[in-house]
């Protein structure tokens, strides 16, 4: 990192409790997918509570490349998407707009239904462990798609109508579940997906598709059944709030000894997080329009924590909370079971004064894919420790916000590099920091 990168650097003067009110809008893990779903409709769709984040801008650009008219609606955070003139986009344009986002792979099913073909460039995303895209293509082949892998990406064709099929996921992957949903709704016949992801954002996507005319049932055994229909209409939908961003601000309140009201935060989709927050010693009050998160004073409690797919403790909640656990009394144990490399961010915390030891063994009882493999996926956090400001380079979206929390909780000044990565998932985070009294500035 050189001095020429100062546009992507944030100076953070720590030691000040974050206090005030902010507003969280629609979920990053739902809104771009609901935008893709608009491709399936025969008429316009209206999506409300849309945050202004990079992934939304990427999908908006890709939709427009394919002939979808996208315009702002009547209220702030509202998009109106008209897919009546969907067309083939140029490969170079798709590649340029996609950037590092993994969202383009979800365009496959809708484009195969609308055009009979699709192109997907090489995919990026946060470097937090293996998220292989091959399974997406395996799923599409089961529906009847033909895939030609070339140097610049994947070319897909559907010579005839896609057919419903039976699919069993080896792991309840959110992305694979979304792929099946967006493809199966217009496929001929019944599609049965077992071991599906059932996150709140998945349920909200199902709500979107049902509004469009889809027939989808979600059973308690993680089985989703989709009966294909011949035609879908547009939808009008308000996206559920971003529980991952809400939890990040909650952890920031805990780590800095602060008091933050998160307007838009919802209790139902955050129940598991709220239970853990209370065990650590955090206080919260649920209101009609949000949740107030605060450090009530006194010592925080160490805990044993395991991440898991919903309804377990979400992996995206883990990194921000670990920063708060550096201020808890005693030994906290964290077992990451979802992404094998998600604890790598703790090295920078140790350089700031934290005491975090990583282990290859499973320090917990939750079934884990990494227990017999050489991944540092368990952590023991010893606290409380006094964090000192330092040079931080953001590794990924949630890890990046965790570094920001650490810098805000630390004594002295930190230089946080790669701050623009946080724009992928946090709307106007600079403005929100300023409203909460954070001492931050661009150098």
Q: Which residues are catalytic?
A: 126
Instruction: Say whether the peptide bond before residue 15 is cis (omega within 30 degrees of 0).
Output: no
To 10 degrees, what angle do helices 54-65 and 91-98 make? 170
At residue 180's C-alpha, the angle toward residues 178 and 182, to 5°, is 65
**Alpha-carbon distance 255 to 275, whole Å?**
17
Pairing type for strands 79-82 and 45-48 reads antiparallel
Pairing type for strands 45-48 and 9-13 reads unpaired
């Amino acid at each position: 990192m050189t001095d020429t990168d100062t546009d992507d650097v944030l100076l953070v003067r720590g030691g000040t409790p974050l206090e005030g009110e902010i507003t969280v809008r629609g979920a990053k893990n739902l809104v771009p997918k609901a935008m893709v779903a608009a491709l399936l409709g025969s008429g316009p769709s209206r999506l409300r509570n849309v945050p202004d984040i990079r992934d939304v801008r990427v999908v908006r650009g890709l939709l427009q490349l394919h002939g979808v008219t996208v315009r702002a609606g009547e209220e702030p955070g509202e998009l109106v998407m008209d897919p009546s003139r969907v067309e083939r986009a140029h490969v170079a344009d798709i590649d340029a707009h996609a950037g590092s986002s993994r969202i383009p792979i979800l365009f496959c099913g809708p484009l195969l239904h609308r055009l009979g073909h699709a192109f997907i460039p090489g995919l990026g995303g946060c470097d937090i462990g293996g998220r292989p895209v091959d399974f997406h293509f395996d799923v599409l082949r089961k529906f009847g798609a033909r895939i030609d892998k070339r140097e610049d990406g994947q070319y897909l064709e559907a010579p005839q109508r896609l057919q419903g099929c039976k699919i069993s996921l080896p792991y309840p992957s959110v992305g694979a579940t979304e792929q099946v949903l967006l493809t199966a709704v217009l496929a001929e016949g019944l599609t049965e997906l077992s071991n599906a992801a059932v996150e709140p954002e998945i349920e909200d996507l199902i709500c979107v598709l049902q509004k469009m005319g889809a027939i989808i049932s979600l059973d308690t055994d993680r089985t989703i059944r989709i009966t294909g229909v011949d035609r879908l209409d547009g939808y009008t939908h308000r996206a559920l709030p971003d529980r991952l961003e809400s939890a990040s601000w909650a952890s920031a309140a805990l780590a800095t000894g602060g008091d933050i009201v998160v307007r838009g935060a919802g209790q139902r989709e955050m129940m598991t997080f709220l239970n853990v927050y209370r065990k650590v010693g955090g206080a919260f009050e649920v209101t009609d329009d949000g949740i107030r998160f605060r450090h009530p004073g006194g010592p925080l409690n160490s805990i044993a924590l395991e991440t898991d797919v919903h309804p377990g403790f979400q992996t995206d909640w883990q990194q921000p909370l670990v920063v708060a656990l550096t201020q808890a009394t005693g030994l906290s144990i964290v077992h990451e079971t979802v992404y094998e490399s998600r604890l790598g961010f703790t090295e920078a915390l140790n350089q700031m004064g934290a005491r975090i030891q990583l282990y290859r063994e499973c320090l917990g009882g939750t079934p884990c894919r990494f227990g017999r493999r050489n991944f540092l996926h368990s952590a023991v956090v010893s606290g409380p420790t006094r964090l000192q400001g330092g040079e931080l380079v953001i590794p990924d979206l949630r890890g990046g916000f965790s570094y920001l929390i650490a810098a805000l909780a630390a004594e002295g000044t930190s230089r946080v590099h790669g701050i623009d990565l946080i724009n992928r998932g946090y709307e106007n985070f600079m403005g929100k920091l300023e409203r909460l009294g954070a001492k931050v500035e661009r150098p």
